[in-house]
Amino acid sequence: MKNKKERDWKFIIGMIVLLAIFAVMGGAFWNMVGKQAQIVREEEQKEEANAISAIYIETGEFLKTGVFVDLNNGTIFSADIPAEGIYNKKGKLISDDVLENGDKVKIYGDGIMLESFPGQYPGVTKIQRTGRASLEETQEYEDQVTGMMKPVAVQ
């Protein structure tokens, strides 16, 4: 009888030690997951801070090409649409990854703009359609782009 009680106590103590070990391992794992989530949130905030709000404008009479106009400073630039496509306001991929004249977008990338005219933004990682500009706003930016992109006659 004494051996059975002794074995029972050893079993109970062993289980308590085992539970304590699992609790410590679980806490360490949870802490690691929390830190990783914090890193991801910080990266997303950094991306959001570096995102460019722009409007998509089509130019050209015969051969239509698209450029973007930065809504904050009026810079005209071109950028390729990422291979994965375009996202909508809610962050879902859009099946037709074609932008239309007057689409407002947020452009995410490495922030490096090449010095040319129009500027080139080769490091685009994501484009998110955020809405549509009004006809008046679209016309205003079309006029701005047309005025800047006209060929200059050499005399």
Q: What is the pLDDT of residues 79-129, one digit of tens each?
A: 888 888 888 888 788 766 678 888 999 998 887 777 777 778 888 888 889
Q: What is the residue whose two structure tokens read 């080769």? A: 122
- Residue 34: other Cβ atoms inside 10 A: 10
Distance between CA atoms of 77 and 10, rounded to whole angstroms? Answer: 74
Amino acid letter, 29 = F
pLDDT above 70 for 151: no
Residue 152 has pLDDT above 60, yes or no: no
**In which element (H, E) is residue 97 found?**
none
- The torsion angles phi and psi of 80, rounded to 5 degrees, stand at -80, 145
| Residues 10-46: tens digit of each pLDDT | 888 999 999 999 999 998 999 898 888 888 888 877 7
H/E stretch holding 2 reads helix 2-50
Q: Residue 108 is inside which H or E element, if any?
A: strand 103-109
Q: Collect all residues with Cβ–Cβ distance below 8 Å to 53 and sequence separation of at least 6.
A: 70, 71, 72, 104, 105, 106, 130
Q: Are 101 and 76 in contact (CB under 8 A)?
A: no
Domain boundaries, the chain: 1-50, 52-149
Tokens of 13: 């103590």
The whole-number average pLDDT for the span 134-146 is 83
